[in-house]
Structure 1
Amino acid sequence: MTTGQPVTAPAAQPGLGSAGNHQPANLGDILERVLDKGLVIAGDIRVNLLDIELLTIKLRLVVASLETAKDVGIDWWESDPWLTGDDGGVREENKQLRARVAELEAASSRDEEDG
């Protein structure tokens, strides 16, 4: 099909170099790359007054897939009682400690009544 007008190549966009046909990455591609390789953001916030440190906040953020995190040795979610539902016997220990405290308080109040 010819229309009588010459066909011209699109003008190269500034900043793309000689490639010219570079497609911008979509959000899914970027997210896949970040999760595959991992991303670490670290920073410190310090509040000083007259050279006296009043507050320090250390921020550490790791964004990675679970597989990538495991590969670098990060697997805290596997043993976190809040996430696993395993309290590690903390509830039973808590009941025993409460019973022991009640016994000690009862013994203490008996001693005060006798003495």
Structure 2
Amino acid sequence: MAFALRISGKTKNGQEVYIEPSWWNINELRSTYDFKEELDYYLDCYLYVDKKTFLKIKESQDKYRRKGIYEDQLWILENDRTNSELDEFLQKLQEDSQITIWIYEWESGLG
């Protein structure tokens, strides 16, 4: 099974924003927070949080941004760009926004 993660929320002007931080630790998130699971053919897990909780999660995941494979210079540049997008996203969020953290299973072909 391969999993990926997508974050979404609405900005103050109503625009839906999607960001996919590659370094976030999916196993840690699923063991720490109460994700709602939906099983169709693939497993999808959803967590709906407010801005304050999201900030806490974002800060807890930052320790992975330059760890392991993410120590490579190309990953550092990509993850720094994505982290800037997350910061900008937080600035533009509606105050009472609900942020969705979606962990989804995808077909990796690795069996």
TM surpasses 0.5: no
Larger relative strand fraction: 2
Larger radius of gyration, structure 1 or 2? 1
TM-score of the pair, normalised by structure 1:
0.21
Instruction: Name the TM-score, length of structure 2 as normaliser.
Output: 0.22
